[in-house]
Structure 1
Amino acid sequence: MKYDTLGNSGVEVSEVGFGAWVVGTDWWGDRTREDAIEMVQHAVDRGVTFVDTGDVYGHGDSEELVGEALSEVREEVTVSTKVGYDFYNNPQAGHGELPKKVTPEWIRTALDRSLDRLDMDHVEVLMLHNANVDEVDEDVLETLDELREEGKVDAIGWALGPSIGWLAEGDAAVAEEFDVLQTVFNLFEQTPGRHFVDTIREQDADTSIVARVPHSSGLLNEQVTPETELGEGDHRAHRPTEWYETGWEKVESIRFLERDGERTMGQAAIQWLLAHDEVASVTPTFRTTDDIDEWAAAPDTPPLSDAEFERVQDLYADNFGIDRDDGMDALRSSVGGEDLKDTGMKSAGD
């Protein structure tokens, strides 16, 4: 494993982190509480010291599991949680988004409840969970600064989702000097991640990127193939069939990234992300301890060569030679699509 720091916060993270939403829900395979705790502990044993959870994941269940799993190694790990949804007063309806709440009072209340569930007196990272750009005003920013001064958090972040737009939010996070920006970013889905990389470079900013969904919902680790039958509650089933069909063709075009005995496709996908200096950590969705063993080892595999990286980018620019729609031509925008004009994508809902 290798390690990096988030912005200029001094907070250290493993280059492969544990995205703990998976242990708080059954949206990506079901498991017992004991299995979930074992997975987190197994990851730590493999050098994964960055654990990223959120209060809404399982309505607090993920935080409780993480707190129990890390109780014996608290000083050895970096814990991140997220706030911004009022799940206390609103039932979960399938995979739908709950009402958001981003006010100074709510951030403090939600963080205190998270710390109780984690059984911790502070977290290294606190992220705003899917906050719209107009919700993060001066009062919210001041509250985040106060929480750092009080020692409850060491670094602040802005987590973007659930779809992969949010350019206005990511640009605001960089402009406001957030330590970390979390976004969907992978070899197949480079918008808006590449945009944020460019923004950070242009502004010479210290914001670090944490890349989620690095395997493009199972394509780049080949856990979703033409033979896979996704269960009704599986979160990956929200992708249109056309998206998977084009994705399987794309995978065949990048077989050159595999190195027999040295680097798997799943590891290559992580190394492609780590080739960007701005990416401090990658949070794949671990389903099993075998996943942990493979992907935690990714930083120690051969990095992509310049030629390999450029070949990937040439393929991406040509849509991997595929001339048909994948059903994913719209991104989420909170500003009526104004932030998407230069991406070639339209605003979801238009």
Structure 2
Amino acid sequence: MEYRKLGNTDLELSTITYGAFAIGGTMWGGNEQKDSIDSIHASIDNGVTTLDTAPFYGFGLSEELIGTALKGKDRTKVQLLTKFGLVWDGSNQGKGEHFFDLDENGKSTPIYKLSSKANIIKEVEESLKRLNTDYIDLIQQHWPDATTPIDETMEAMESLIKQGKVRAAAVSNHSVDLLKEASKTFIPASNQVGYSMLNRGIENELVPYTIANNIGIIVYSPMERGLLSGKYFQNEKLKSDDHRNGYFGQFDLEKVKVFLDNIRPIAAEKNASLAQLVLRWTSLQKGITIVLAGARNAAQAVSNAESMNFDLSSEELSFINAELSKI
């Protein structure tokens, strides 16, 4: 495993980081809790020291499972990354920005973005309890909130660092303009954004800006929620309530299939899976600090960690990029 310094902090994070969205179950067709805990243990045992979660993932369940999995573990050997700013339980009392309505199990739940100082303090206290810890290594604003002044959000995060409840603070899903505005009050350690072989938009403006300003980039959905693993093209069926049934529709699936077939020989030469090849390619892209990879069982967790066990030559990277240009 490789470890990388995050932005202007002293945090050393594992390049492959455990992404805990799926283990929350919400939007992912449920959850097997024992498998989830096993996947966390397997990740740590294979060098993945960094775990990224959020209260929204399973409405607290993802954080609770991490807290359970870490009982008896050396807390100083693990970095916990979580978020704030998505409210679902009505405690926002009409405040915040409506994001979307989550329709699941025959129930519709309105989700709001809320990054006020009062809500941040409330959410962090709840996360500390669920994670069974007295500090969070990196707290992140989950999504920008148009109803709260950016300086209020940044000042609240800075105060949490001074209190010792948080080691570092960051943002997620922020544009360059929003990063510039936030940095007038407090320079975020990183920006967590979507990025993959099929979604490279951040390379145009965001990557150059973050490199110039020593801000890390944490990328999520590098596998496009499993599409780039190739399993979708091998008759793997999704549950009816799995959000990916609609999500995959945005891509030209035939071109994606051809691309994966064309790069498969490189994976075979490395004795690696397509998923491992995709993760390794992502980790080697300019400006990327760490890559989130989800796992719902121990085998997937081990596979993710082992994606760092090989390298890619400049010729191999050029070939992959040339094939990508055809999609």
Do the structures match in fold with TM over 0.5?
A: yes
TM-score normalised by the chain length of structure 2: 0.86
Size of the aligned set, in residue pairs, is: 312
Structure 1 pair 135–252 and aligned structure 2 pair: CA distance change class (3 A):
farther
Which residue of 2 is the match for residue 187 of structure 1?
197
Indicate the SS of the match to 1:79: strand
The aligned counterpart of 1:13 is 13
| 1:49 and 2:57 matched | no
1:220 is displaced (CA, Å) by 1.9
Report how far residue 278 of structure 1 moved.
2.5
Letter in 1 for 2:128: L
TM-score (norm 1): 0.81
| 1:130-169 to 2 correspondences below 5 Å | 130-132=143-145, 135-160=148-173, 166=175, 168-169=177-178
SS class of match (1:268): helix
How many angstroms apart in 2 are the aligned matches of 1:263 and 1:211?
Answer: 21
**Would the aligned equivalents of 2:50 and 2:79 in 1 still touch at CA under 8 Å?**
yes
Residue 319 of structure 2 aligns with which residue?
Answer: 311
Q: 1:45 to 1:152 in 2, by over 3 A?
A: same
Structure 2 vs 1, CA of residues 16 and 279 (structure 1 numbering), >3 Å: closer, same or farther?
same
1:83-98 correspondence to structure 2 within 5 Å: 83-89=84-90, 92-94=102-104, 98=111
**Is the CA contact 2:17–2:290 (under 8 Å) kept in the aligned structure 1?**
yes
Q: Is the 8 A contact 1:2 1:15 kept in 2?
A: yes
Seen in structure 2, the aligned counterparts of structure 1 residues 255 and 96 have a Cα distance that, compared at 3 Å, is: farther
Residue ranges of structure 2 left out of the alignment (5+ in a row): 92-100
Which has the higher relative contact order, 1 or 2, with Cα contacts under 8 A spaced 6 or more apart? 2
1:39–1:83 distance in 2 versus 1, CA, 3 Å: same
Amino acid at match of 1:83: F
Cα contact 2:270–2:310 (8 A) shared by 1: no
Show the counterpart of 1:338.
Answer: none
- 1:295 matches 2:308: no
Which string of whole-angstrom CA distances, capped at 9 and with x for unpartnered residues, describes residues 206-262 of structure 1?
111111111122222122115232221112112254623332122223335324353
Give CA-to-partner distance per residue, 1:158-209, whole Å, 9 cap, x none: 122xxxx9564466567753111111111121112554222223xx211111
Is 1:108 matched up with 2:121?
yes
Q: 1:39-65: per-residue Cα shift (whole Å, max 9, x none)?
A: 211211111110111011111111111
Q: Which amino acid aligns with 1:22?
A: A
1:276 is aligned, of 271, 278, 285, to 285
Gaps of 5+ in 1: 323-350
* C-alpha distance in 1 between matches for 2:116 and 2:46: 38
Change (3 A) 1:188 1:174: farther
Deviations 1:62-88 (A, max 9, x none): 111111111222221000111101222
In 2, are the aligned partners of 1:267 and 1:301 still within 8 Å (CA)? Answer: no
> Alpha carbon RMSD of aligned pairs, Å?
2.5
SS of alignment partner, residue 224 of structure 1: helix
* Percent identity over paired residues: 23
Contact 1:267 1:298 in 2 (8 A): yes
Contact 2:14 2:48 (C-alpha < 8 Å) held by counterparts: yes
The structure whose residues are more often strand, as a share, is 2
